[in-house]
Chains A and B, each alone.
Chain A
Amino acid sequence: MTILKDYTYKKIFQSEKQLPDNTLYEYNINVPHIFVEKSSCSIIAGIDKTIDQIKSYFSENNMEYELVEVGSKGLCEYDPVVSIQVPGRAIISLKNIYSNIVDSVLDSILNNILPERELIIGQYSHPELNSWSEITEISDIPFFKKQTRRLLKDIGNIDVNSIKSYLDYGGYKSFGKILTTHTHSEVCDIIEQSELRGRGGGGFYTGLKWKNTLNNNAEKKYFICNADESDPGSFAGRMLIEGNPHLLIEGILIGTYAINANEAIIYIRNTFDLAIKRLKNAIKQAEISGLAGEDIFGSGINIHLSVFASPGAYVCGEETALISSLEGHRGMPSPKPPYPSEYGLFGYPTVVNNVETLCNIPYIIKEGPEKFKELGSQNSYGTKLFSVSGKVDFTGMVEMEMGQTPNDILDITKLQNNPGDVKAIHIGGPSGGFIHPDDFNMNIDFDTFNNNNMWFGSGSFLVLDEENCIVDVTKYYIDFINNESCGKCIPCREGSQRLLEILTRITERPRTNKQHETLLRFKGVTQMEEVSKLMKETSLCGLGQNAPNSIISGLKYFRQEYEEHIYEKRCDAVICRNLKEYSINVDNCVGCSICSKRCPSDAVIGSQRTAHFIIQERCIKCGICESVCKFNAIIVR
């Protein structure tokens, strides 16, 4: 215990040497080092089996080795990713290492032979080590090269289970610095000067929030980190924690010190098993190292860290709802004012910050606010993480300078960015909206987005192509809101229900062709606009106010698609299948039974050589019968 404390003390206060950026571990090793990128994504891809196989490989061959668990560098497409360092040679990074190829890959690498080219991502060269010939540098790969990796810098290099590793890369230096040389309000000043804005969506100035809380006198204050990232399709915060838990903890420690609080709580989804495990482990290590707990390094400062595994509700991302949930109530938002900075958790002044925001703090303290502001655009400085998913070649987490454009992100994540093959981008999750290709050169920063009534929120970036239907994606998000609304205020609860019904109505074939039903479908668009306006103006919290963004932007840019659905009952992406009805023309059907055999849902019945029949209740509208019929017997309506 004392050893770790001494180590920490030396690293932080006595400027011991630190590892250069973009290296994996020490270069001078005696046994093979295997770095496995274990993240929530790679677990699903099967990294655990890969690890087991690696372990048994070495034990069967009676060889010494070192296995280091690191976080994902963000290229989820390549999972499971394993990097290998043989003594004397540069580290080589390999992709898609499933357990069945572990043995052959290790066999060749340990014998200094490269495995198949398809498995290689790249290498990390080092002046003291022999590079592999004809292998690209990891930092030269376009996916990484075009990013500005400030928060993600060390992810993939740091051993996630070891505080030593974080310290080796210069970790906790910022916290050590403020602890010895800065007062509470000086820290707030620095953050205020950096003009850092909340990355959770609202974009409130973090320094200002802290200062307000610091200036509210109370016997107790709370610092809360909101890690309840539950936008569907947003995983950046979770991957940050998984890849570098100590970075977040350092940010929290600085923030807690800045507002002069003694208690910090990390509010995180219970389903984020790996992130919770790593966070808890990191907190324990920080406590053992003397970085958290009572009287931190003799400063007289006490900071207690705890993790709260939230039972899960999207609305708890809203700070008042989060606080209510922490108090043990239903997580329902309450009206503001009073703001949490005056009256927060248990009535005490409270700061709530998002994971990504806090991970920026150590950098700002270390390098100073001016350096932080070197990146970014007017009023939006620094970088922003995006969780890119959908129709791209590289699904994953990217870090971009503020003020870059959707085109820049597509450039990184698509192999060939042909204009036109992306139909739209949905940015910002359920609270966000669509961007039309015409606007792909629009700057992603707070001002531009605010002026355009847009919201990039926690940075989910969903790429859609011609096979996706705007109405369907909108319906998906509204359905999400309808389920996740807390149910308290009428505009959000009833409004989202009506919006969902209207959307469902226009994506389905009307049951009858009666005038009344047709009229309802036609009226849908105007009603959606009316309800959207109401929700924006009168909802209690941000969830309801931003919920109609998908509809508003969809109607603005893709109105034609809505009209096709409503008037022509046509969905070009063939997603809204319920617009169609399949039946068999008995005159044309010869009873060849091909459709019956190919039908995935057994909806076509009939005996050989007699006309077949489609059972509508079973039909899933896949269209296979139409494509296989050689006699034009399938009628599509």
Chain B
Amino acid sequence: MQNYIDSLKEHIEKRELLSILQNFQNKFGYIDLNFIEQLSKRINVPAGKIYGIASFYNQFRFKPKGRHHIKICSGAACHIKTKDNLTSEIYKILNLKNKETSSDGKFSIEFIPCMGACALGPIIAVNDRYFMNVSLNDFKIIISNLD
């Protein structure tokens, strides 16, 4: 992480903050407190401010992803085609307890406003592999194949 901060260029404008955070997250998977504090010193923006800005946006996570990352399309078309309370059942199946990442670090969940494939919904992506027309049973099978 220190390397990443050192690799940042000398003069950083505030408008670049979001892309710095994006790059960091792409590299390390999530944004941690240590990074925010180091970055705060480096670019002279209070840590509280950076956290406030980052937490506003969907993209930023503050906890590591699970071993299996599950993306669910929450678009309108997928919603009206979804049956059997799929989303709330997924929370139960993955033992997420309304959190982003399960406590054993196995699963994490993310909602995408619309994946752009409304014809094929409901769509779920497990580790970036897409599944179309997913039913509750399909999901159970997909999950049971993961270690």
Q: Does any Cβ of A come within 8 Å of B94's Cβ?
A: no
What distance in Å separates the Cβ of A232 from its nearest Cβ neighbour in chain B? 4
User: Which one of A235, A270, A326 contacts B22 once the chains associate, using CB atoms below 8 Å?
Assistant: A270
Q: Which residue of A lies closest to B110 (CB)?
A: A271
User: Which one of A41, A76, A462 contacts B76 once the chains associate, using CB atoms below 8 Å?
Assistant: A462
Q: Does any Cβ of A come within 8 Å of B17's Cβ?
A: yes
Map CB proximity to B onto A308-337 as digits: 1 under 8 Å, 0 otherwise: 111111100000000001111111100000
B12-46 with Cβ < 8 A to chain A: 13-19, 21-22
* Tally of contact residues, B, Cβ under 8 A: 40
| CB pair A468 B119 closer than 8 Å | no
| CB pair A476 B79 closer than 8 Å | yes
Supposing A233-B76, A311-B59, A620-B85 touch, asked if A77 and B119 sit within 8 A by C-beta, the answer is yes
Q: Which residue of A lies closest to B111 (CB)?
A: A483
What distance in Å separates the Cβ of A315 from its nearest Cβ neighbour in chain B? 9
Supposing A41-B119, A44-B120 touch, asked if A230 and B53 sit within 8 A by C-beta, the answer is no
Supposing A76-B118, A620-B85 touch, asked if A600 and B14 sit within 8 A by C-beta, the answer is no
CA distance A441 to B72 in the complex (A): 36
User: Which one of B52, B60, B84 contacts A311 once the chains associate, using CB atoms below 8 Å?
Assistant: B60
| CB pair A327 B84 closer than 8 Å | no
Supposing A600-B136, A601-B89 touch, asked if A331 and B84 sit within 8 A by C-beta, the answer is no
Q: Which residues of A contact B120 (CB under 8 A)?
A: 41, 44-45, 76, 79
Q: Does any Cβ of B come within 8 Å of A114's Cβ?
A: no
Q: Which residues of A contact B74 (CB under 8 A)?
A: 232, 480
Q: Does any Cβ of B come within 8 Å of A532's Cβ?
A: no
Q: Which residues of A contact B75 (CB under 8 A)?
A: 232-233, 389
Q: Does any Cβ of B come within 8 Å of A580's Cβ?
A: no
CA distance A575 to B72 in the complex (A): 20
What distance in Å separates the Cβ of B55 from its nearest Cβ neighbour in chain A? 9
| CB pair A389 B123 closer than 8 Å | no
B60-90 with Cβ < 8 A to chain A: 60, 74-77, 79-80, 84-85, 89
User: Which one of B13, B19, B77 contacts A233 once the chains associate, using CB atoms below 8 Å?
Assistant: B77
| CB pair A230 B22 closer than 8 Å | no
Map CB proximity to B onto A77-110 as digits: 1 under 8 Å, 0 otherwise: 1010000000000000000000000000000000
Map CB proximity to B onto A257-290 as digits: 1 under 8 Å, 0 otherwise: 0000000000000111000000000000000000
| CB pair B116 A311 closer than 8 Å | no
CA distance A274 to B74 in the complex (A): 19
Q: Which residues of B contact A330 (CB under 8 A)?
A: 52-53, 56
| CB pair A327 B14 closer than 8 Å | yes
What distance in Å separates the Cβ of B72 from its nearest Cβ neighbour in chain A? 12
Q: Does any Cβ of A come within 8 Å of B145's Cβ?
A: no
Q: Does any Cβ of A come within 8 Å of B115's Cβ?
A: yes
A480-496 with Cβ < 8 A to chain B: 480, 486
Q: Which residues of B contact A313 (CB under 8 A)?
A: 56-58
Supposing A45-B120, A389-B76, A389-B77 touch, asked if A577 and B132 sit within 8 A by C-beta, the answer is no
CA distance A331 to B18 in the complex (A): 11
| CB pair B80 A464 closer than 8 Å | yes
Supposing A44-B115, A233-B114, A331-B57 touch, asked if A390 and B77 sit within 8 A by C-beta, the answer is yes
CA distance A327 to B53 in the complex (A): 11
Q: Which residues of B contact A41 (CB under 8 A)?
A: 116-120
Q: Which residue of B lies closest to A462 (CB)?
A: B76
What distance in Å separates the Cβ of B143 from its nearest Cβ neighbour in chain A? 14
Q: Which residues of A contact B77 (CB under 8 A)?
A: 233, 389-390, 395, 462
User: Which one of B76, B119, B137 contacts A476 once the chains associate, using CB atoms below 8 Å?
Assistant: B76
Q: Does any Cβ of A come within 8 Å of B113's Cβ?
A: yes
Please report B residues at the A interface, Cβ cutoff 8 Å. 13-19, 21-22, 52-54, 56-60, 74-77, 79-80, 84-85, 89, 112-120, 123, 130, 132, 136-137
What are 5 A-B pairs at a CB distance below 8 A? A239-B116, A309-B22, A311-B18, A486-B56, A621-B85
Please report A residues at the B interface, Cβ cutoff 8 Å. 39-41, 43-46, 76-77, 79, 230-235, 238-239, 270-272, 308-314, 325-332, 346, 387, 389-391, 395-396, 426, 429, 460, 462, 464, 468, 473, 476-477, 480, 486, 577, 600-601, 620-622
Q: Which 8 A-B pairs have the closest CB atoms?
A: A395-B119, A233-B76, A311-B57, A389-B77, A389-B118, A312-B58, A311-B59, A76-B119
